[in-house]
Amino acid sequence: MNANIKEVMLKSARSLYGSLPTIVGAILLIGLVSAAVPKSYYGMLFSRNPVVDSFIGSAVGSVLAGNPVTSYILGGEFLKQGVSLVAVTSFIVAWVTVGVVQYPAEAILLGRKFATYRNISAFFLAIVVAVITVAVVSIL
């Protein structure tokens, strides 16, 4: 193996090892929040106003980040409770793309400025994607 490749791999391994406590902490915190907040509570957060609900969905999804499979299950439950499709879509997109809980780890690994801009843009883009998605679904 080339000496440069070995050096790069060694640096990458050290960097990953150094950031491991932060990553594990973020994962544990996500699990704790997901377990502590009852799923039925989410449905009570929404106001039944699609515009307001898209912001609420994006905000809740940003704070309570998780994996896509869980978000689909929660989204189905929200729809059964009468939450608007735009709110559910905004929630799902933000749940997967925005990470307030993971922000410290992301800031350490990728830089604070990048992490901040990425999370802010992902928050607002979750709302935009939700509105466009619901508009397209209503056309179909």
Q: What is the pLDDT of residue 13?
A: 86
Q: What is the 3-state secondary structure (H, E, C) of 49-106?
A: CHHHHHHHHHHHHHHCCCCHHHHHHHHHHHHHCCCCHHHHHHHHHHHHHCCCCCHHHH
- The CA distances from residue 8 to 1, 49, 113, in Å, are 12, 52, 24
Check pLDDT > 60 for residue 1: no
Both structure tokens of 79: 């729809």
User: CA 83 to CA 80: how far, in whole Å?
Assistant: 7
3-state secondary structure of 38: coil
Read off φ and ψ for residue 98, nearest 5 degrees.
-100, 140
User: CA 128 to CA 126: how far, in whole Å?
Assistant: 5
Q: How does pLDDT run across 31-81, given as a tens digit for each residue?
A: 776 677 676 676 677 777 778 888 988 998 888 777 777 778 778 878 887
Q: What is the pLDDT of residue 105?
A: 83
Check pLDDT > 90 for residue 126: yes
Q: How does pLDDT run across 83-103, given as a tens digit for each residue?
A: 889 999 999 999 889 988 888
- The pLDDT > 90 percentage for the chain reads 28
